[in-house]
């Protein structure tokens, strides 16, 4: 079995959530059948959305540092526990000698393979503005419904003021309205396009037909290192 490297810290809870999903989705009966994971929970990676909007420093230097560290420690495959960070992937992936799984592409492929023709996107402003999921959906002929300006503000506030702030009492009324309105616009399911959104679903008991990008990445990581995936 190969060794998995995780570029984490974006945010810390999303990193733990990905690790948990990898462990729970691995068909293992004893410790030795689980995946050897190397994790760099690098909280010094600058905010990805701020960088995309021109308000902050690029995260590429720190992400590359994490990737090279994981590679030097023996990682055979690398994943990034952050959707928005994939905007910067092309800037450093060729400087690393091991493959990096693309979470965005794999999530869209999963949607297509599941038979969806039209999906909504719950994400940060940064992810929306990069067009990451829009481009991937165009590539795989999947219609994507994106939040409007007010809707994206509600989602981002839940991520930053709710999940990242460990605020378990956060009022998600606005986000629930967003989900309802996007469903009326044709969304058959919702891509959880930020690694904090699956945590928000659990923290705030959000209801909907959700496609967890972190779970898709976890499944692909398990297969990539040669472990056994639990089939649902």
CA dist 120 and 103 (Å) reads 17
Is 194 a residue of the active site? yes
Six token digits for residue 143: 């219609």
Q: How far apart are CA 25 and CA 214, in angstroms?
A: 12
Distance CA 75, CA 2 (A): 8
> Any residues with CB less than 8 A from the CB of 34 and at least 6 apart, and which?
23, 26, 28, 227
41 flagged as catalytic: no
Candidate list 111, 123, 137, 194, residue with the active-site label: 194
Q: Per the residue annotation, which of 82, 111, 123, 137 is the catalytic one?
A: 82
Start-to-end CA span in the chain (Å) = 22
Which residues participate in catalysis according to the annotation? Answer: 82, 194
């Amino acid at each position: 079995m190969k060794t998995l490297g995780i570029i984490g810290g974006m945010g810390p809870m999303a990193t733990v959530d990905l690790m948990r999903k990898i462990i729970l989705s691995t068909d293992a009966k004893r410790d030795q059948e689980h995946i050897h994971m190397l994790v760099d929970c690098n909280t010094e990676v600058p905010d990805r959305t701020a960088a995309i909007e021109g308000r902050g420093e690029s995260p590429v230097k720190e992400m590359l540092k994490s990737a090279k560290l994981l590679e030097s420690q023996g990682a055979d495959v690398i994943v990034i526990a952050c959707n928005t960070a994939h905007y910067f992937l092309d800037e450093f992936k060729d400087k690393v000698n091991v493959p990096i799984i693309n979470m965005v592409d794999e999530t869209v492929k999963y949607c297509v393979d599941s038979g969806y023709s039209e999906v909504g996107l719950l994400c940060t402003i940064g992810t929306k503005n990069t067009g990451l999921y829009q481009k991937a959906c165009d590539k795989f002929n999947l219609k994507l419904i994106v939040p409007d300006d007010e809707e994206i503000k509600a989602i981002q506030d839940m991520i930053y003021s709710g999940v990242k702030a460990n605020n378990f009492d956060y009022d998600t009324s606005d986000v629930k309205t967003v989900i309802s309105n996007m469903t009326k616009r044709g969304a058959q399911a919702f891509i959880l396009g930020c690694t904090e959104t699956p945590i928000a679903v659990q923290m705030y008991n959000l209801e909907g037909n959700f496609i967890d990008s972190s779970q898709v990445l976890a499944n692909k990581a398990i297969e990539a290192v040669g472990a056994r995936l639990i089939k649902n």
